[in-house]
């Protein structure tokens, strides 16, 4: 399963809502419990209130954080932004990983605005539409459809035969066994080896039969490199999410037109 489609449910809330203050008491950003404890354990901050957790830094940070940004200073709800469900939440990136990983570092590493909690069911529902939108973009940017890897069919058959011999050696019918061991034996015979033992079968089961196509570029990379305006591209994905899912519980101050 790919990284962007794994939809693992969150083990800790997406939004920690622990408030962090400057030494002068200015609220500069929110963070999770783990990050707050990191400051406290190193004596870099002190607790102002325990519930809700508010900490005050003991040093003056380089920047002012999000001191003037209402979106980041608000307490955000850990609910599915579409249906309001409280459990089985996943982390949804509005711009898919297949594009985002090719963004310039300054944009790729600061994407919290476009990370939203979705329940597993809503996430699955949206991915169907997102997949169609990806295909639309591939056609729009005239990206050629090609696979990134070349499969050596002969090596694949040897690898699968060896794996089957190792996994099911006690239950393979004689005729099937002879076919599988014969496939492995032919591979080694082509290399001048006349006998095959268990070590050879184990080694054959680990053969790499996929090779990277020379000069291959993933579709996402080709599209990002073709963009004249990455910000406009991000806003298209934001709008697509809103139009598709009609979310009823979006964080306050979240708008499509927010600059990157």
Q: What is the pLDDT of residue 6?
A: 55
Query: At 217, is the pLDDT very low, low, confident or very high (cuts 50, 70, 90)?
Result: confident
| CB-based contacts of 37, cutoff 8 Å, min separation 6 | none
Predicted TM-score of the model (pTM) = 0.73
Tell me which of 164 and 6 has the higher pLDDT.
164
Query: At 64, is the pLDDT very low, low, confident or very high (cuts 50, 70, 90)?
Result: confident
Model confidence over 22-42: pLDDT tens digits?
Answer: 999 999 999 999 999 999 999
Q: Among residues 254, 247, 244, 257, which one has the least CA distance to residue 79?
A: 247
Residue 226 pLDDT greater than 60, yes or no: yes
Q: Terminus-to-terminus CA distance in the chain, angstroms? A: 30
Query: At 2, is the pLDDT very low, low, confident or very high (cuts 50, 70, 90)?
Result: very low
- d(Cα 124, Cα 118) in Å, to the nearest integer? 9
Model confidence over 84-119: pLDDT tens digits?
Answer: 999 999 999 999 999 999 999 888 777 889 999 999
| Rounded average pLDDT over 18-23 | 96
CA angle 125, 140, 5 (to 5 degrees): 30
Residue 1 pLDDT greater than 70, yes or no: no
């Amino acid at each position: 399963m790919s990284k962007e489609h794994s939809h693992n449910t969150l083990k800790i809330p997406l939004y920690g809502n622990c408030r962090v203050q400057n030494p002068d008491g200015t609220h500069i950003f929110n963070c999770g419990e783990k990050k707050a404890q990191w400051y406290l354990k190193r004596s870099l901050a002190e607790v102002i209130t325990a519930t809700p957790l508010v900490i005050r830094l003991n040093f003056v940070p380089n920047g002012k954080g999000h001191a003037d940004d209402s979106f980041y200073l608000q307490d955000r709800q850990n609910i599915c932004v579409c249906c309001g469900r409280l459990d089985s939440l996943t982390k949804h990136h509005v711009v898919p990983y297949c594009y985002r990983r090719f963004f310039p570092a300054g944009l790729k590493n600061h994407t919290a605005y476009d990370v939203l909690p979705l329940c597993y069911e809503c996430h699955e529902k949206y991915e169907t539409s997102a997949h169609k939108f990806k295909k639309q973009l591939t056609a729009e940017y005239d990206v050629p459809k090609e696979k990134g890897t070349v499969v050596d069919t002969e090596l694949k058959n040897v690898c699968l035969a060896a794996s089957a011999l190792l996994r099911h050696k006690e239950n393979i019918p004689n005729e099937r066994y002879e076919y599988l061991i014969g496939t492995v034996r032919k591979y080694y015979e082509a290399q001048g080896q006349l006998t095959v033992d268990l070590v050879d079968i184990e080694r054959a089961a680990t053969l790499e039969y996929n090779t990277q196509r020379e000069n291959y570029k993933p579709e996402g990379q080709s599209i990002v490199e073709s963009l004249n305006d990455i910000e406009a591209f991000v806003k298209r994905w934001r709008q697509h999410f809103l139009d598709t899912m009609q979310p009823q519980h979006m964080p306050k101050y979240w708008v499509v037109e927010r600059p990157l």
